[in-house]
A and B are shown apart, each in its own frame.
Chain A
Amino acid sequence: MKVLVTVKPVADPNTPPAAWIAAQQGKPTGEVNHVANYFDLIAVEQAIRLKDVGVDDICIVSITGDDKMAQVRSAIAMGANRAILIDPEGKALEWHQIAAALKHVVEQEQPAFVLMGKQATDDDASQVGSILAGMLGWPQATFVSEMEFNADRTRVKVGRETDEGVEVLDVKLPAVITCDLRLNEPRYATLPNLIKSKKAPLERFKFSELGIAADPQVTVEGFALPAGRSGECRMVKDADELVGVLKEMKLV
């Protein structure tokens, strides 16, 4: 079975917000380190674990310029076979454009299913998986924390994390599946595998070659820092005083 797994390089989640905003606005700033989106690494790990049920071709897809190849390589080195890279040519693409680019790759590769992280930790949007599934006319299963294939690999039973507990769905393949935290714990790429990953076949496209509308549906107009929580933290010395303060504030 062939599986496509999406990987997005994102700013390190520990980047100070002001520096992140400056980088988003294209201002020269101190180093903002990038990492592969953690949820995408869960997707890569899942693909590797599914070798037991017949996955034999793991293809990473990433929409990124050459400057963030290290993050894509680290994902390949976990155990993927190859990668397809789409160069955004310096443009900030929005979710619909990204889904359209992925659709192009899916139509070329015809995988058994697509695995993605449930959201990117920079824009926190969790949109692309559902848009892609809709564009392809495929079933979708988002926020998945359990996967179990049927005997002939035509359907997969998934557990989805919802506000109301784990929802179990039986999904026909091909499908788009987005991965949640509890699905697995991603392995680290070893140094020998990182070196080996440099030989993994890469196929490259430019976004402008794919025939996707260049005008975004959604644009970013600006950034702000959220208002901090006002006031100092009132420190109390023991449980008695804490209960007194809570009573005074009419909270208990």
Chain B
Amino acid sequence: MKILVVAEMQLGKLKPSNGAAVRFAQDLAAKTGGSFDIVLIGHGLADLAAGLNKYGAGALHVIDAPRFENYLPGSFCAAVVGLVQAEGYTAVIGGEATTSRDIFPRIAGALGAGMCKGVSAIVDAGGGVAYQRAVFSGMALRTERIHTPIHVLTVDPTAVGEPAEGPAGAVKAFAAPGGDDDSVKFVERRRAESGRPDLAVAERVVGAGRGIKSADYLETIGTLADKLGAAIGSTRAVVDAGWLPNEFQVGQTGKAIAPKLYLAIGISGAVQHSAGIRGAKTIVAINKDPEAPIFKIADVGIVADLFDVVPKLIEKI
């Protein structure tokens, strides 16, 4: 297959999920006897291109114009579709993230191509390839086969490894079709700055559940997180209660994470949350309910009142 990886940016930097997309492209190219290129879309990208151009891609396409300063689905979709049609790509791959979730189905629709979202593995299927992905809150895996000439895929970053390094490809500027369009205008971004590691890729994550009882206790959770050099994550209940913004949510409708250590504090372990921490290396659970489902997936557990245990951990770590 002739593969295009659509790299994503996050607050002016390359997004970590790009690594999984490149790795998946390398694996798919090896399996189907093809090659892959990468495209980066934005404005003022000169310094970022080098960070992507070290994985053996044939080409690094750069689409750089003032109108791409902020991500907007319509113009970014038109840019990717224009490049796919100009170069004749047969697969379009991105790392699973909120931007790819927004734009990839639109790209697939525009190309008349089938799409699989959040793919975790390539499966052999009667001379071709099929893709496995988690469905039903991660409680089941489903194998899906795409029958259109072009395959559109997003890749689950917690299920795919790091990309192999390789020579740099030719850097090519692509003049994307389309012009200024006022149908969608970027207004602003509101974001809580914490100074902590990025939840999506943090090596350690302290997860807070409804058991913490109030937003006030997040300060103590934050102290523990800072002692561990950890990011804070949460369940949907904590976000629903308004204690933390949505970008902290881990699970089926939030982020999927794969830290080395996930410290689940006052989290019962509903399937919707567990769906987001399946990739964690070690799960440590603190919960006063010995029957809490979290202990079924935890590696280390303590049945105790978190309000006793957490201050002691802060003291001893």
Give 1 or 0 for each of A201-213: 1 = CB within 8 Å of chain B CB.
Answer: 0000000000000
B64 to chain A minimum Cβ distance, whole angstroms, is 21
**Taking beta carbons and an 8 Å cutoff, which residues of A are in contact with B?**
11, 13, 17, 20-21, 39, 94-96, 99, 118-119, 121-135, 139-143, 145, 157, 159-172, 180-182, 215-226, 228-229, 231, 233-243, 245-246, 249, 251-252
A221 near B144 (CB under 8 angstroms)?
Answer: yes
Inter-chain contact A121/B137, CB cutoff 8 Å: yes
Count of CB-CB pairs between chains A and B under 8 Å: 262
CB B114 to nearest CB in A, in angstroms, measures 3
Partner of B114, one of A121, A142, A218, A223: A218
Cβ contact within 8 Å between A126 and B188: no
- Contacts A164-B11, A236-B302 known; A143 to B190 CB distance under 8 Å? no
Closest to B260 in A: A251
A130-B102, A168-B188, A240-B312 are known contacts; what are 10 more A-B pairs with Cβ within 8 Å? A124-B117, A124-B137, A130-B105, A140-B73, A163-B97, A164-B191, A170-B185, A222-B142, A226-B278, A229-B297
What string of 1s and 0s marks CB contacts (under 8 Å) between B284-317 and chain A?
1110000000011111111110001100110011
- The majority secondary structure among interface residues of chain B is mixed
Chain B residues with Cβ under 8 A from A223's Cβ? 140-143
Residue pairs across A and B with Cβ atoms less than 8 A apart, 5 shown, are: A122-B135, A130-B102, A165-B247, A249-B282, A249-B300
Establish whether residues B189 and A164, one from each chain, have CB atoms under 8 Å apart when the complex forms: yes
Decide if B34 is an interface residue (CB 8 Å cutoff). Answer: no
- Complex Cα spacing A225 to B142, Å: 9
User: Smallest distance from the beta carbon of B149 to chain A beta carbons, Å?
Assistant: 10
A134 to B297, CA, bound (A): 40
B111-134 vs A, CB cutoff 8 Å, 1 = contact: the mask equals 011111110000101000010101
> Does A143 lie within 8 Å of B302, measured CB to CB?
no
In the complex, chain B residues whose CB is within 8 Å of the CB of A39:
253
* Distance from A172 Cβ to chain B, minimum over Cβ atoms (Å): 4
Contacts of B114 in A (CB 8 A): 94, 96, 216-218
Q: For chain B, which range describes its interface: under 10, 10 to 19, 20 to 34, or 35 or more residues?
A: 35 or more
Residue pair B117, A181 in contact (C-beta under 8 Å): no
Q: Closest residue of chain A to B242, judged by CB?
A: A182
A interface: dominant SS: mixed
CB pair B118 A243 closer than 8 Å: no
B92 to chain A, nearest CB (A): 14
Taking a contact as CB atoms under 8 Å apart, the answer to whether B109 and A99 are in contact is yes
A237 to B309, CA, bound (A): 11
On B, residues with C-beta under 8 Å from A are 10-11, 15, 72-74, 77, 97-99, 101-110, 112-118, 123, 125, 130, 132, 134-148, 182-192, 200, 204, 228, 236, 239-240, 245-247, 252-253, 255, 260-261, 271-272, 278, 282-286, 295-304, 308-309, 312-313, 316-317
Contact B10 A166 (CB under 8 A): no
Contact residue among B117, B191, B295 (Cβ-Cβ distance under 8 Å from A127): B117
- Known pairs A17-B136, A182-B239, A223-B143; A165 contacts B316 (CB<8 A): no
With a cutoff of 8 Å between Cβ atoms, the chain A residues found around residue B186 in the complex are: 167-169
Whether A220 lies near B302 (C-beta < 8 A) is no
Instruction: Name the CB-closest residue of A to B107.
Output: A134
Are B147 and A122 in contact, CB atoms less than 8 angstroms apart?
Answer: no
Contact, CB under 8 Å: A165 / B190: yes
Interface centre among A225, A238, A239 (most CB of B within 10 A): A239
Note all chain B residues with C-beta closer than 8 A to A132: 109
Q: Which residues of chain B are near A135, meaning CB under 8 Å?
A: 109
A123 to B260, CA, bound (A): 28
Residues in A neighbouring B141, C-beta threshold 8 A:
223-226
The reply to whether B192 and A134 form a contact with Cβ atoms under 8 Å apart is no
Shortest Cβ distance from A103 into B: residue: B109
On whether the beta carbons of A246 and B284 are closer than 8 Å, the reply is yes
Q: Which residues of A are found within 8 Å of B187, using beta-carbon distances?
A: 157, 168-170
Which A residues lie within 8 Å of B189 (CB)?
164-168
Complex formed: what's the CA distance from A126 to B99 in Å?
Answer: 12
Q: Which residues of A contact B146 (CB under 8 A)?
A: 217-218
Q: Which B residue sits closest to A123, measured CB to CB?
A: B135
Smallest CB separation, A237 vs chain B (Å): 7
| CB closest residue in chain A, given B246 | A161
With A17-B136, A139-B184, A224-B140: A235-B190 Cβ-Cβ less than 8 Å = no
